[in-house]
Structure 1
Amino acid sequence: MAKKVSYEETLQNLKDTLENLESNELNIEDAIKEYEKGIKLVNKLYKTLNTYEGKISKVRDEEEVEFDYSDEY
């Protein structure tokens, strides 16, 4: 079974991919492969963020409480 890669590791992989692309040392075929890899990483990061956003919204909605502003200090 494949190891689950953390958000931070995926982000670092994206940074490394970007550095490879910016180095101008890749031939066109390898540059296209790196670009495709980068797009997959970006999509994975967005998916992860959307999942976390949904979880946060759910918790926030469940725990939402009216705040009483009448007790000013």
Structure 2
Amino acid sequence: MAKRKESYESTIKKLEKIIGEMENEELSLEGSLKNYEDGVKLCNKLYKMLNDSETKIKILTEQGEKDFVEVDE
């Protein structure tokens, strides 16, 4: 079965939950390290999502500018 791609918003919510746990609960060292590791993984995933979106926007913008220039000519 194919793995469903997570949305940016759901990934942010997971990260916020981890941050909340780390701020509000007394965790063991192991629990804190696990949350930290999971948080870093989520941050990297979010960074990749943003970079991918930025790349798509640049491509669309460049194509739109080319299409716009061709129409004017």
User: What is the TM-score when the length of structure 2 is the normalising length?
Assistant: 0.83
Cα RMSD over matched residues? Answer: 1.2
The runs of 5 or more residues in structure 1 that have no matched partner are 67-73
- Choose between structure 1 and 2 for higher RCO, CA contacts under 8 A separated by at least 6 residues: 2
The runs of 5 or more residues in structure 2 that have no matched partner are none
2:62 maps to: 61
State the Cα deviation string for residues 9-62 of structure 1 (Å, max 9, x = none).
000000001001111411111000000000000000000000000000000011
Identical amino acids, percent of aligned pairs: 41
User: What is the TM-score when the length of structure 1 is the normalising length?
Assistant: 0.83
* Cα distance between partner residues in 2 of 1:57 and 1:38: 28
Alignment of 1:1-73 (within 5 A): 1-64=2-65, 65=68
SS at match of 1:19: helix
Counting helix residues as a fraction of each chain, which structure ranks higher? 2
For the pair shown, the structure with the greater C-alpha radius of gyration is 1
